[in-house]
């Protein structure tokens, strides 16, 4: 039970039509999600596996995406470690911040992992809900991104707390990586084909810090799950993306946002897939301007042969934004399929 186009991208088999999936494709822009959210809290939608499966199914059913994504949140490992978690109108907040003084209050990996079992069941039920010709991927947050949240208690611009907490990072990373290994295994056991590691804060590091802080942990995770872990970081430069490709041969693939030349990255990527990278903000254009922008974006890919664009997974530079017109999401999928049929 898998999508042939997505499997071809993973296995680097040339094909005319790329698979399509978008980060946050089952999110706040979609009326299917909004209808469920009017009845249930965000926490309930994530933690009740039947609801999570229904949310994930919605956009695949309506827009025909090739791939479905586990509906969850990357902060649940921090909740599992004992930091608490609530979702407010202003965003997620942890119960307490990680500091040198509170480090002792973290649960062990063995104590934490039972609190993530709901994700395995959510993957299982999502797989049952999906058509057999659709793929299913899971996701986790990167160690650095989780550490940034853990120390600030929320998303903090500039990441000054995380960047100055060097000794705390050095003793926290082994715990986070240990828990992520078990979290990834849970989702794979549930039936996910690949796990995407979303490291959304990594793009805010300089190249030397990226090499020192990010690469070792991602390499350790990828080596534990060869060919099963994809990597994406918002704002990562082409140099950083290429460093990931060069340093971590066990990755299943890599994603890039709209500021990266994806054709160049794709042709330098010997790994599985290269995912991206239409600018998500352009989905807000009126229909005629949107079609022009999409045509302009697709033109360089159309000039490549199937062999030259091998591994391409078509999608956005980051996630679908709240308020995005649904008809443009639908038009995106239909246009890509038509142009590359």
Closest Cα to residue 70, out of 80, 79, 57?
57
pLDDT in tens, 185-237: 999 999 999 999 999 899 899 999 999 999 999 999 999 999 999 999 988 88
Report how far residue 206's alpha carbon sits from residue 243's, in angstroms, rounded to the nearest whole number.
Answer: 13
Asked if the peptide bond before residue 17 counts as cis, ω within 30 degrees of 0, the response is: no
Report how far residue 327's alpha carbon sits from residue 4's, in angstroms, rounded to the nearest whole number.
Answer: 26
What is the reported pLDDT for 89?
78
Closest Cα to residue 329, out of 5, 32, 14, 17?
32
Between vectors from CA 136 to CA 121 and to CA 115, what angle results, nearest 5°? 30
Q: What is the CATH number of the domain that holds 245?
A: 3.20.20.210
For 85, 96, 104, 166, 341, the CA distances from 82, given in Å and listed in that order, are 9, 9, 11, 21, 49
Establish how many alpha carbons lie within 13 A of residue 173's alpha carbon, considering only the half-sphere containing its beta carbon.
20
The total of structural domains in the chain comes to: 1
DSSP 76-145: HHHIIIII--EEETTEEE-SS---TTTGGGSPPHHHHGGGGHHHHHHHHHHHHHS-TTSEEEEEEE-HHH
Which uninterrupted H or E stretch holds 196? strand 194-198
pLDDT-derived band of residue 320, with 50, 70 and 90 as boundaries?
very high
Position 55 pLDDT exceeds 80: yes
Position 157 pLDDT exceeds 90: no
Establish how many alpha carbons lie within 13 A of residue 289's alpha carbon, considering only the half-sphere containing its beta carbon.
6
Report how far residue 38's alpha carbon sits from residue 36's, in angstroms, rounded to the nearest whole number.
Answer: 5
Listed in sequence order, the DSSP H helices in the chain are 4-11, 31-37, 42-47, 49-63, 76-78, 109-112, 117-129, 143-152, 160-164, 166-190, 207-209, 215-224, 238-247, 262-267, 287-302, 326-339
What is the reported pLDDT for 85?
95
For 2, 23, 68, 128, the CA distances from 131, given in Å and listed in that order, are 9, 20, 10, 8
Strand order of the β-sheet with 312-316 is: 67-69, 135-141, 194-198, 229-232, 253-255, 273-278, 312-316
Average pLDDT across the chain, whole number = 95
Which residues, other chains included, contact 294 with Cβ-Cβ below 8 Å and sequence gap of 6+? 278, 282, 331, 332, 335
What is the reported pLDDT for 234?
87
Q: Which domain holds residue 313?
A: 4-339
- Of 43-47, 79-83, 232-236, where does mean pLDDT reach its minimum? 232-236
What is the reported pLDDT for 235?
86
What is the reported pLDDT for 61?
97
Between vectors from CA 15 to CA 196 and to CA 265, what angle results, nearest 5°? 50
């Amino acid at each position: 039970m898998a999508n042939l186009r997505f499997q071809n991208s993973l296995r680097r088999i040339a094909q005319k039509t790329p698979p399509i999936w978008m980060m946050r494709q089952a999110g706040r822009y979609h009326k299917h999600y909004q209808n469920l959210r009017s009845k249930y809290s965000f926490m309930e939608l994530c933690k009740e596996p039947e609801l999570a499966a229904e949310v994930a199914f919605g956009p695949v059913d309506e827009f025909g995406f090739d791939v479905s994504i586990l509906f969850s949140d990357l902060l649940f490992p921090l909740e599992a470690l004992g930091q608490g978690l609530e979702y407010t109108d202003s965003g997620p907040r942890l119960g307490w911040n990680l500091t040198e003084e509170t480090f002792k209050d973290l649960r062990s990996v063995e104590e934490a992992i039972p609190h993530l079992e709901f994700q395995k069941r959510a993957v299982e039920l999502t797989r049952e809900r999906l058509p057999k010709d659709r793929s299913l991927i899971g996701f986790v947050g990167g160690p650095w991104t989780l550490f940034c949240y853990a120390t600030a208690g929320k998303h903090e611009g500039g990441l000054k707390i995380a960047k100055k907490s060097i000794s705390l990072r050095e003793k926290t990373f082994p715990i986070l990586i240990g828990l992520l290994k078990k979290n990834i295994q849970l989702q794979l056991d549930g039936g996910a084909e690949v796990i995407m590691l979303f490291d959304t804060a990594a793009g805010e590091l300089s190249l030397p810090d990226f090499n020192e802080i990010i690469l070792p942990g991602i390499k350790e995770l990828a080596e534990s799950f060869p060919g099963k872990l994809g990597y994406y970081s918002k704002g990562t430069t082409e140099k950083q993306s290429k460093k990931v490709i060069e340093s971590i041969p066990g990755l299943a693939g890599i994603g890039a946002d709209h500021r990266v030349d994806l054709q160049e990255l794709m042709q330098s990527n010997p790994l599985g897939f290269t995912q991206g990278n239409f600018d998500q903000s352009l989905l807000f254009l009126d229909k005629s301007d949107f079609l022009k922008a999409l045509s302009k974006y697709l033109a360089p890919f159309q000039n490549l042969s199937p062999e030259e664009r091998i591994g391409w997974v078509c999608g956005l530079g980051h996630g679908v934004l709240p308020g995005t017109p649904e008809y443009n999401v639908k038009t995106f999928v239909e246009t890509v399929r038509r142009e590359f049929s």
